[in-house]
Amino acid sequence: MTLKRNTYLKKNSFGRSDFSEGFLFGTASSAYQYEGAINEAPRGESVWDTFVRKYPERNCYSNADQAVEFYDHYKEDIQRMKDINMDAFRFSISWPRILPLGKKSKGVNQEGINFYNNLIDELLANGITPLATLFHWDTPQALEDEYNGFLSEEAVNDFKDFAALCFEEFGDRVKLWVTLNEPWVYSIGGYDTGRKAPGRASKYMNEAAVAGESGLEVYTVSHNLLLAHAEAVEVFRNNPKCKDGKIGIAHCPVWFEPYDSNCPDDKEACERAMEFMFGW
């Protein structure tokens, strides 16, 4: 869990010793934003690959084809983590790098599995705890084309298969897992405001959107994300390799207060907003 608030501290006012034993100091990344190497391994396309090309003006005319080249330079980055005394590293596993067409039945990319095996082993060799995220918004484009991704419950079983494969391949060494990264950001950004992939929204929310229904699809997607989370957790709990591991969701909630604490409508609106962001 990550909580953010505006807190101002004096320089050197606290240190590691002020945190409880076992607290992990670390850093994090996501596959699409960091890895690059979109044509290596051979990685399939995600909705973000399509989104940045289809709507370049909505992404500052940039893409992550190259990113920070983590795929080719992860050993150097891990050395930097070690140099600054990081305890842990949270990375996401690219669904389309493992399953280029989104489905296990349509082929597993062994080169992709090899990359994450090597990454995990390198982290452990340097005394850094690996923490793996299964979904950081990079739905395989093949599934978006087939059934509109997480707008369909079909995505639940495909995600379950992907999660099961990851637990089987990496669960002997990765003991900390995240199913979904910031799910409310994905559902609102992708299906309500249309500012993030796959860019769906009603015209009244985003004039640039070509399809979508804000206020409806965001709840459909959120529902299916929760189903996918539940299925993945069930698979995790039943895999012997994961018996001593932990799993959860990564949130980034925004805190709300009612405009008028004496107004029932304001209090209800506040609770509804908090529930959508924090009540997964």
Looking at the whole model, is its pTM more than 0.75?
Answer: yes
Give the integer Cα–Cα distance in Å for 121 and 169: 12
pLDDT number for residue 10: 62
Tokens of 123: 């982290």
pLDDT number for residue 3: 42
Give the integer Cα–Cα distance in Å for 275 and 219: 13
Residues that are catalytic: 182
CATH architecture of the domain covering 24-278 = Alpha-Beta Barrel (3.20)
What are the residue ranges of helices labelled H in 104-216?
A: 110-125, 141-147, 154-170, 183-191
Residue 276: helix, strand or coil by DSSP?
A: helix
Pick the closest to residue 150 from 226, 211, 98, 95 (CA basis): 226
Residues in the chain: 280
pLDDT number for residue 2: 42
Give the integer Cα–Cα distance in Å for 115 and 93: 10
Tokens of 161: 């298969």
- What is the chain's pLDDT, residue by residue, as a tens digit (280 residues)? 344 445 555 666 778 889 999 999 999 999 999 999 998 778 999 999 999 999 888 888 888 899 999 999 999 999 999 999 999 999 999 999 999 999 999 999 999 999 999 999 999 999 999 999 999 999 999 999 999 999 999 999 999 999 999 999 999 999 999 999 999 999 999 999 999 999 999 999 999 998 999 999 999 999 999 999 999 999 999 999 999 999 999 999 889 999 999 999 999 999 999 998 888 8
